[in-house]
Structure 1
Amino acid sequence: MFSSPLRRALKRGLKPGGDLVEELRGLDDYVISSKNDALAVCRALETLPGDRSQNTRHFSTPLHELTGLFQDVDGKQCPAFDVLYEEGLPELIRIFDEIVEDASEEEIDDLLYVLKILAMYGSFEGAQKIVEAAQMEINCDAYMWHVILSTFSEDHPQRDFVLKALSDPLPSGFLAIGLLDSANGAAIHGTLEEHPFDSPGGTQMLTQWLQDTDPEKFSYAHSATAALPFISNPARDQLLALAMDHADSGVQLEAAWAAGKLGRETGLKVLAQFCLDVNHSDMAQRYLEELDRAELIPSDAQDEAFQAKAEFSNWLSHPNELGRAPDSLEIVDHRQIAWPPEGQPQPMWLIRYTLHDETGLEEDDVDCGLVGSMTWCFFCYKMDQRPPEDVYAIHAYWEMENAELIDEHEVTDPNEYAGMLSQWTGDPLEAPTITQVTEVSPKLNIPARFVAVATAKLAGQDGCVVLDGPRSTWYPKDEQPNETIDSVLLKIHVGHQLLGFENVPNRKSYLRDKAPSRTPEEFLAAYEKLLDVATDASSPDQKKQLGSHSMLARHFERYIELLTDAKQVERNAAVIATYQRLLLAARQASEEVQEEAFDSFGILGEGFDVYVDALKADSREAEIVGLIEAFEPHWQHNLGYGRLGRAAFLAGHGDIAEPFFVKIRDGMESYYRCEEMSMLAEIWYNRGDQTEARQLLIKCLTNTRKDFQESEYLSDRKMFAESYQYHRATYLRLFTDGEEDLAAQELPVDLG
C-alpha cells in the first residue's frame, strides 16, 4: 500500500528511539490533502503528551510540530480538513487539558499554538477552550494572544460567543489588547452589536491606556481610541478628549478618525490637516476616503512628490522597519525608468531619511530608500553613500531575484567555478576567490547569463572582480562604502544591465566621512546620563535602559574604553564599578523591571562575560559564585547555561559549571560545536574521568567535521572549522598522545 512522505516520517519518528521533531522538520513544505495523512496525524497526537522530559532535545517539540501540520492542509474542501476537524481538534483539546496545570514556559508556548489552531478551525469546542484559557490568563502578555483573538474579528462562526464570554470579566495584560483589537475590527466592519469594552470596567481600562505616559504603550492608546465610536456616552466624549490631547500624534490622528466616524466636523478638519503632514498623510487620506470624505484631501497632499515621501514615511514607521516616523525626508533623485521585467517606464524616487539620535551616543541614522515599483529600504547597504544608478540597480536586481528571474547562491567550492576566472582579461589578479554565482533568466533580455564575483587584489589594491565575459569589471574596495559585501557588487553589475545604465558613476564622490561628531567627553556625559536613568527607580525609562537591547548595552564597551583612555581609569576597575552599579539597581527595582533587567539581552546579560573576566583578572573569583546564584533563576536556557557555566569554569568551580554544560549537551542539537563542551571535557579530565573526556571531544570533532562536509555555505564552513580547531586544541592539550589518537580516528589537522 502506498505510504506518503508524511506517514513514513511519522512512522519513523514514533518508533522507539525515533526523533519525531527531526522527521517532521525534514518534510519542508509538505501539503496535507488526503484522509489517510490526516488520520496518521491524529494517531500521532494520540501518543502525546508522552514523556515530556524529552522535549528539551530540540528548539521545538512533537506537539509543536504536529500542531503545525494543521496549518498545512490544502483548504477546507480537501478530505484531510474534515478528519482533522472531527478527530484532530479533540486530541489537541485533550492534550491541552493534560498539560496546562503544570506546563513549563516552553510548553505554554505550545499550548498557545494549539489555541491558534483551534481558533483557525472554528469549532465551538475549540472556542470554549480559548475562552477557558483566556479566563485562566495563561501567559496573558504573550503576543500570540493577539494572533489567536484576531481570528475572531470578522466572519468567524464563534466570534460573538468568544467576544461576549470575555467581556465580563475582561482579561488583563496584552490579552486584553488582543480582545480590544479583535472587537474593534468587527465593529468597524459593522458586524458587532455590542462592543465588549462598552461597560464601566471597559471604559476604565480604556482610560488607563489613554493616560499611560510610557511611549512603549502608546500603541495601546491607539487601540483604545479606535474603540471610541462604539462606546456609549458620557464616557465616550471624555475618552475622546483624552485621545485628542494625547502626546502621540498617531493617537491624535486616530482620535480625529473616531470623531469623523461619529460625524463630527472637527475630526474631519483635523484629518485634512494631517494630510499635509508627510509623516501622517498616507493614513489621514485613507481615513478620509474610508469616511467618504475624500473631497477634503488638500490638493497639495496629492502632489506626486509629496505622496512619494508620505508613502516612504508610512513604510519607515512600521514596527518591522524604523518603528517611528523619520525627522526629515529629502528626494535625492527622481526619474522615469524602464523597469524590468516588462520594461515599462515607471516613476521612481530615491528618498533620503534622517532619524535624529536622541541619546548623544550615536550618529544620526541617515539612509536612502526607493519608492516606485515598490517601497523599500536596505538599511545595511548604505544607499545614502551610493550613486543613484547603483541604488536603482541593487533594487532592480533584488526584485528580479524575488520574482525568481535571478538565482544567486554562495559558492561552497571555489574550484568548481575557477574556470570563470579566465573571463578576466585585464591585469593579473592576486589571490582571486569566487564567492557568489548568479544565473540570470533569458526572460530579462540582457547578455549576462552566468555571472560570478570574486574577491581579489589588482595592482596591490583590494576589491572584487565581477566575471561576466567581455563585460567583466573590476570594482575597487575604496570606491564602496565600508563593509560592502561581495554580493552587493554582483547586484550593482547585473542591475546596471537590467536598467540599461552604460555610464560609470563617480562612486568615490558619494562616500561620506563617518568620523564621530562627538568628543569623548560628550559621549561619556551622555552615557552617564542614561546610567542615572537606569539606576533611578522613579524614572519611567528605567526598564528601557536596563532591559533588552538598551543603548547602555550597545555602547558599554565604548564607555569602558573612553573611561580608560580619557579619564585614566583602570579597565577592570571601570568594568566592575559600572556593572555593580547596574546590578544593584536591578536588584532593587520592581519585579517588572527586574524581569527585563535580568534578560539575556539586557545590559546585565550583555556585560556579564566582560564583568566575569574583570573579576577574575582582579583575583575576585569568590564573587563570581554569588553572581551565578543571582542569575541562574533568570537564565533557564542554553545561552544562560553557557554563560553561567563559563563563569563557574573561569572561577575554578568545575562542580558548579558541570551541570550547566550537561544541560547544553542534553538539550541542544548542535551542542558538539559549543566551546562549552571543551570546558566540560576538561572538567571530567581533571577529576580523573579521562575516558569520558576523550569520548566527548572525539564526538564533538567527528560531528563538527560531518557538518563541515555537508555544509553548502562557505560562511558556515568557516564557523565549523573554527569550532573544530577549538576542540582539537583542547584534545591536544589534555592528551599527550593526541596527535596519534586523532590520526587513528581519521580526524585531520584541519578541515580544508
Structure 2
Amino acid sequence: MSSSEDQFLTNLLHKQEQPTASPTDLAETVARWKSATDEEVRTLLSSVLESLQTDAQSDRLNLPLLEAFLEGLAQRYAPKSRSGGPPPAPLEAPTFELLAQLYDALGARNSARYQILRVLASAGTTASLGLFANRLVDDPPTQPRQLDAACVPLFQATQLDVDALFPKLFDALGNPVLAAIVLDLSNHLYRRGMVAEHPATPRVQSLTQLLKAMAERLRLVEEQPSKYAANQQELQNLIGESATLIIPLCDALGAIGDPAAVPALNIVLEVRHRRLRAEAATALARLGEKRGVEMLVELAADPASRTRALAYLEELDEVVQVPKEHRSPSALAEAKLASWLAEPQQIGLAPQSVEVVDRRRQFWPGFDEPQDCFLVRYEYPFPQGPLIGIGLVGPTIYCLAVDLQDLAPSDIYAIYAGWHADHPELYEEDADDLADSERDVYEMAGKELDADNVELALVGRFFGRNMPVYRARRSQQPGFLVVDGDEASWYGAGNNSRPLGAREAYWIHKGRRLLATFNSDFGEEDESPTE
C-alpha cells in the first residue's frame, strides 16, 4: 500500500481524530477510486475489515470519507465512464465478497453502508448481484431514500443476470417499502423486454392474496378514517403507503395475465383513490375484462384522472371509447391542472371543478415556436369558504396564490409570463437590498407620483432598464405604481383575502412588455379592456 493510501486509511479509520474532509478532498477521493485497480481496492477493504474486527467500533469511521470512497467505486460503472476514455479496471468476485463483509460489519446504524449495495448493483455481475440480493432482502437499509439509491442502478442497466436477483428478491414481499421497489423492478424488466416471462409469474397466487388484503384494508381506512389515523396527515401517509404497493401489484398482475387476479383487482375498483382505480382497471383490461375499459372511460370524464386514463386507453388501443369532449385540447388542459393541484406538494387533492376560461396560441418568452396557452379556473368548496383561482397550462403548469379573477385574460397571461421568464437580465431587488444612494433617489422620485402613501417596494431590472415599483393608494384603494421611463402604470391590489403584492404587480407589467414584444396582437382578444 502506497503512502497516500496509508494516509487515506488512517483518515478513514480515525474519524474522531480527523476533521471532516473538505468538498475538494471528497471529490479527489471519488476520482481516485473510480480508477483504482482491483488489487488496490481489495487491499484497502481488507485493511478496513481487519481494523473493524480488532476495534469492533464501526462508528469510528469517517463517514463522509467512507461514502466518498464507495461513491467512487459506484461511479466507475456509470454510463459516462463506459463511453469516454479507457474503461475502469473491473472489480473481481473476491472484492465483491469483501464489500459484502464490510456491509455486514458496518451494521444497520451506519448511514453510508447503503452505498455498498449501490456498488454491487452498479457492477451488475452475477457474483455482485447475488450478494446484493441477499443483503437487500435479509438486512436492508432502514431509510427509503437509501433503498431507492441502492436500487437505481438496476433500473438503469441495459442488461442484467435476472436469475441472480430473482426469485430471491421476492422474499422481501413482507416489507411493504421494499416490496414496492422489487415489484417495480420486475415490472420494469418485463416491460423493457429484458425477460421473456414476468419474474413474478410463479408468485401470482401470493401476489393476488397480498393485493386483496391491501385493497380490503384500504377500503376499511376510507370507510372509517378516524379509526386508523389520528389526523389528516397520518391518514394521507397511510393511504400513500398502501398506494405505493398496490400500484406495482396491479401492474404485475396485469402483465402476468392470470385470470385468478380478477377478484382482487375488482376490489381495488371499489376504493375511492382515483390512481388505484385506474391501475386496477388497466390490469383488468389487459386480462380481457370489459369492466376495465369501462372504468377507464368513466375515469376519463373526471379531470383529475383524465390524463392517466387516456394514456392507459391509448396503450390498450381503446381511446376511441372516450367521448370527444373529454379528449379535446381544453379537456386535456383541465386535466393537467387538476392533476397538478392534486399533487402532495401542491394542494394535495383535486378541485371540485375546473374550466378553461381562455385559450390562445401565442409566442412565449423562452420558446422559439408559438405555444398553446390555457387559463383554467378551479374551485375548492372548503368549509371556511371557497378557494377559487386561475392557473396557467401551456409552456408550464402553475397556479399563483393570489386571486386573479378580476384581471383581464391578457393580464393573467402577463403575470404568468412575468413570473415564468428566466433570464439573467430579468430580476427584481427588494428596496431593503438596494444601496442607500440608489434607494434615496427612487424614494425622492416617488414623492412626485400622483398617489397617496407612496413607498418604494422593489426595483425591477429589465434588460438594463430600471423600473421602480411603489406601494401606494388611489381613491382609498391599495395598489402599486410601476414606473417605466416617463410613464407610471397603476395596478390595484384588490380587496379580497389574496391580494396582489408588489412582485405580482411587477410581473404583470414585465409580462405585458414581453408578450407584446413577441405578439403584435397581444391583448386584442380580451373581452373587456383592462383598467
Q: TM-score w.r.t. structure 1 length?
A: 0.52
Map residues 430-579 of structure 1 onto 2, 5 A cutoff: 435=458, 438=461, 440=463, 449-451=464-466, 453=468, 466=482, 468-471=484-487, 473=489, 475=491, 482=498, 486-500=502-516
The answer to whether 1:82 aligns with 2:88 is yes
2:160 maps to 157
CA distance in 2, matches of 1:89, 1:412: 55
Alignment partner for residue 221 of structure 1, among 228, 246, 271?
Answer: 246
2:375 maps to 350
2:224 maps to none
CA distance in 1, matches of 2:437, 2:60: 43
Aligned to 1:373, the other structure's residue is in SS state coil
1:399 maps to 420
CA distance in 2, matches of 1:471, 1:406: 20
CA distance in 2, matches of 1:184, 1:341: 38
Aligned to 1:340, the other structure's residue is in SS state coil
Residues 198, 230 of structure 1: 8 Å contact kept: no
1:262–1:337 Cα change, 3 Å:
same
| Shift, 1:306, TM fit | 1.6
The answer to whether 1:338 aligns with 2:339 is no
Residues 255, 283 of structure 2: 8 Å contact kept: no
CA distance in 1, matches of 2:416, 2:122: 37
1:206 maps to 211
Listed one character per residue, the Cα deviations across residues 310-344 of structure 1 (whole Å, up to 9, x for unaligned) are: 22223333344344332211223333333224575
CA distance in 1, matches of 2:86, 2:501: 46
1:369 maps to 391
1:83–1:477 Cα change, 3 Å:
farther
Residues 29, 68 of structure 2: 8 Å contact kept: no
Alignment partner for residue 272 of structure 1, among 280, 297, 318?
Answer: 297
Residues 137, 171 of structure 1: 8 Å contact kept: no
CA distance in 2, matches of 1:224, 1:298: 30
1:391–1:88 Cα change, 3 Å:
farther
1:374–1:93 Cα change, 3 Å:
same
Map residues 581-620 of structure 1 onto 2, 5 A cutoff: none
**Structure 1 vs Structure 2: percent identity of aligned residues?**
20
The answer to whether 1:421 aligns with 2:442 is yes
Residues 336, 347 of structure 1: 8 Å contact kept: yes
Alignment partner for residue 315 of structure 1, among 340, 358, 361?
Answer: 340
Residues 303, 334 of structure 2: 8 Å contact kept: yes
| Shift, 1:475, TM fit | 5.0
1:184 maps to 187
Listed one character per residue, the Cα deviations across residues 112-142 of structure 1 (whole Å, up to 9, x for unaligned) are: 3543454345344542343122222435672
The answer to whether 1:96 aligns with 2:103 is yes
Residues 207, 249 of structure 2: 8 Å contact kept: no
1:183 aligned partner, one-letter code: S
The answer to whether 1:196 aligns with 2:200 is yes
2:21 maps to 20
Listed one character per residue, the Cα deviations across residues 561-613 of structure 1 (whole Å, up to 9, x for unaligned) are: xxxxxxxxxxxxxxxxxxxxxxxxxxxxxxxxxxxxxxxxxxxxxxxxxxxxx
1:91–1:464 Cα change, 3 Å:
farther
Aligned to 1:271, the other structure's residue is in SS state helix
1:99 aligned partner, one-letter code: L
Residues 451, 466 of structure 1: 8 Å contact kept: no
Residues 20, 64 of structure 2: 8 Å contact kept: no
1:211–1:85 Cα change, 3 Å:
farther
Greater RCO, CA 8 A, separation 6+: 2
CA distance in 1, matches of 2:405, 2:44: 53
Residues 146, 175 of structure 1: 8 Å contact kept: no
| Shift, 1:149, TM fit | 3.8
1:130 maps to 132
CA distance in 2, matches of 1:431, 1:404: 29
2:165 aligned partner, one-letter code: V
1:325–1:191 Cα change, 3 Å:
farther
1:644 maps to none
| Shift, 1:364, TM fit | 4.5
The worse-fitting range, judged by mean Cα deviation, of 172-181 and 303-312 is 303-312
Residues 21, 61 of structure 1: 8 Å contact kept: no
Residues 431, 456 of structure 1: 8 Å contact kept: yes
The worse-fitting range, judged by mean Cα deviation, of 418-427 and 247-256 is 418-427
Aligned to 1:427, the other structure's residue is in SS state coil
CA distance in 1, matches of 2:361, 2:153: 42
| Shift, 1:476, TM fit | 6.0
RMSD: 4.8
Map residues 731-742 of structure 1 onto 2, 5 A cutoff: none
| Shift, 1:94, TM fit | 5.8
| Shift, 1:187, TM fit | 2.8
CA distance in 1, matches of 2:265, 2:512: 53
Number of residue-to-residue matches in the alignment: 473
1:37–1:165 Cα change, 3 Å:
closer
| Shift, 1:157, TM fit | 1.7
1:594 maps to none
Listed one character per residue, the Cα deviations across residues 521-569 of structure 1 (whole Å, up to 9, x for unaligned) are: xxxxxxxxxxxxxxxxxxxxxxxxxxxxxxxxxxxxxxxxxxxxxxxxx
Aligned to 1:280, the other structure's residue is in SS state helix
The answer to whether 1:248 aligns with 2:254 is no
Listed one character per residue, the Cα deviations across residues 597-637 of structure 1 (whole Å, up to 9, x for unaligned) are: xxxxxxxxxxxxxxxxxxxxxxxxxxxxxxxxxxxxxxxxx
1:662 maps to none
Aligned to 2:378, the other structure's residue is in SS state strand
Residues 258, 287 of structure 2: 8 Å contact kept: no
Gaps of 5+ in 2: 222-238, 517-521
Residues 211, 246 of structure 2: 8 Å contact kept: yes
Residues 423, 472 of structure 1: 8 Å contact kept: no
1:211 aligned partner, one-letter code: E
1:476–1:315 Cα change, 3 Å:
closer
Aligned to 1:348, the other structure's residue is in SS state strand
2:265 aligned partner, one-letter code: L
The worse-fitting range, judged by mean Cα deviation, of 130-139 and 277-286 is 130-139
1:397 aligned partner, one-letter code: G
1:381–1:117 Cα change, 3 Å:
farther
2:178 maps to 175
Residues 120, 129 of structure 2: 8 Å contact kept: yes
Residues 150, 178 of structure 1: 8 Å contact kept: no
Aligned to 1:325, the other structure's residue is in SS state coil
Residues 356, 364 of structure 1: 8 Å contact kept: yes
Residues 403, 499 of structure 2: 8 Å contact kept: no
Residues 453, 467 of structure 1: 8 Å contact kept: yes
Residues 480, 493 of structure 2: 8 Å contact kept: yes
The worse-fitting range, judged by mean Cα deviation, of 208-217 and 314-323 is 314-323
CA distance in 2, matches of 1:323, 1:481: 21
Aligned to 1:167, the other structure's residue is in SS state helix
Alignment partner for residue 261 of structure 1, among 267, 278, 286?
Answer: 286
Residues 385, 481 of structure 1: 8 Å contact kept: no
1:97 aligned partner, one-letter code: D
1:115 aligned partner, one-letter code: L
